[in-house]
Amino acid sequence: MAQARQAPFKVFLVGDAGEVSDNRANMGSLQRELSLSPNSVVLFLGDNSYKNALGGLLPYGYRGFDSGSLTQSNILSQLNTLAGYRGSAYFIPGNHDWWNLESYQEGKSKLKMEQHFIEENLKANKTLANPSNTFQPRDGSAGPDYVVLNHDKLRIIFIDTYRLIMGDFTRDPADFPQREARFYESLDQQIGEGYRLHQQVIVAGHHPVYNKGLDSASFRSPYLFSRIKASSINFPSYKKMALHLRNIFHKYPGLYYVCGHVHGLQYNYSSDSIHYIISGAGSKTLTVTPSEMARRRMDPQYDYAQWNSRGFFEVDFIPGAKERIFLYFEEGKKKIELAQQR
C-alpha cells in the first residue's frame, strides 16, 4: 500500500494590512484559512498600521502606530485573525511602522510602542504557538534574526529593510557602515547555516529587492522629505540595500524572499532560481490600468502579478515534493495555484 503523503506545512504571507477600514474582507478570509491550518505560520510583512497626516487633510499618510484608538484598531484587526489559531505568527516592521519621520529616535520609540502593544495583546491568546517574541526583528534592530519551525525543516530569517535604508542619513552613531557590513555578513552566515542543515530558508523583509514587469515609476514618491522618499526603489540607499541582498541571495538556489510595501500581489521566479513574493495588498491596492498591465511583461511560466485586488499568499512545503504556491483574493472569492515550471 502506498504511504500517505504527509500534511504540508503552510506559510501565509500578508503585508500592508494596517488600514482597518479597508482590510475587513481580506482579514476574514485569512482568518478562515488559519483556522483550518494549525500546521502553519503567518507572516505580517510590515506597515501594520497607517495614520493619515493631519487627520486626513493631507492626501498621503505617513504615521504608523501612536497608541490612539484608530491605530489600536488597525493592529487589532490583524491580531483578531489569530483568535483560536494554533500555528505561529510574526510581525515585521515597515516604513510606516517607523513613522516616516526625520527623527530616528522618535521613529524607534513608536516602533517599540507597536511591538509592545502587539505582544501584550497576544499574551492572552491561549492557542497561539508563540504568544511572545512575535515582533521581529526586535527593538528597532535591523536583524537578521531567525526562527526554526516545522520540526527544524524551515528557517525564517527576519530583517528590517527600512532600518537599512535609512541608516545612511539618521543621527544614529557614525559606525553605521561597520554595523551594516556585519549585518550582511551575518545574514549570509544564517542562510548558509540553514542550507548546510538542509532547511528550507525564507528571508522576510518589508521592501522588495527584485521585481519584474513593475515600472520603477510606481515607486516614485511625491514627498519632499528624504525619509519618506527613501521608500522609493530609486532612492540611493534603497538601491544599495537591494543590490547587497540580491548578491547574497543568488548563492542560494531555492531561497524565498517575501515582502510587502508595493500594494499588489506578485510572484517571480528569477533566473538564479530565487523565489520573490510581494504580498502587499492586505488592505491597500495599487491602481493599475489595463494599458499599464499590458506593459508589464510577465512570463506566465515563472511570474505572476495581480493588481487592484486585495489578497494574500500561501506557500505549502510538502515532504518529498515540490512546494506549492497559492494566491487568495479577498473574501475568499478565488484561490489559484501559481504554475512553476522549474
> pLDDT tier at 333 (50, 70, 90 boundaries)?
low
Q: Element (H or E) spanning 84, and its range?
A: none
Q: Which residues pair with 91 in a beta bridge?
A: 44, 135
Q: Is residue 42, in this structure, part of any structural domain at all?
A: yes
- Mean predicted confidence (pLDDT) in 103-115: 87
Percent of the chain with pLDDT over 90: 56
Query: Structurally, how many domains does the chain consist of?
Result: 1
Q: Is residue 144, in this structure, part of any structural domain at all?
A: yes
Q: Is residue 240, in this structure, part of any structural domain at all?
A: yes
- Mean predicted confidence (pLDDT) in 52-68: 67
Residue 256 pLDDT > 80: yes
**What integer pLDDT is reported at residue 7 of this predicted model?**
86
**What integer pLDDT is reported at residue 89 of this predicted model?**
98
Q: Is residue 264, in this structure, part of any structural domain at all?
A: yes
**What integer pLDDT is reported at residue 219 of this predicted model?**
43
Residue 79 pLDDT > 70: yes
Q: Is residue 342, in this structure, part of any structural domain at all?
A: no
331: DSSP letter: G
Contact 146, 158 (CB under 8 A): yes
E strand map for the chain: 9-14, 40-44, 51-52, 61-63, 88-91, 145-149, 154-158, 200-204, 256-259, 265-269, 275-279, 303-306, 311-317, 324-329, 335-337
User: Which residue range(s) make up the domain with 245?
Assistant: 9-337
Sheet holding 275-279, edge to edge: 145-149, 154-158, 200-204, 256-259, 275-279, 265-269, 303-306
> pLDDT tier at 220 (50, 70, 90 boundaries)?
very low
> pLDDT tier at 320 (50, 70, 90 boundaries)?
confident
Q: Is residue 44, in this structure, part of any structural domain at all?
A: yes
Tell if the pTM clears 0.75, that is, is over it. Answer: yes
Q: What are phi and psi of 132, to 5 degrees?
A: -125, 165
Q: Is residue 307, in this structure, part of any structural domain at all?
A: yes
Q: Is residue 68, in this structure, part of any structural domain at all?
A: yes
The candidate with the shortest Cα–Cα distance to 240, out of 184, 279, 316, 285, is 184
Distance CA 296, CA 165 (A): 26
- CA–chain centroid gap for 263, Å, is 11
**What integer pLDDT is reported at residue 124 of this predicted model?**
92
Q: If you write DSSP's letter for every residue of 227-240 in order, what string do you get?
A: HHHTTSTTSHHHHH
CATH number for position 196: 3.60.21.10
Q: Which amino acid is at 16?
A: D
The rounded mean pLDDT for the chain is 85
Residue 222 pLDDT > 90: no
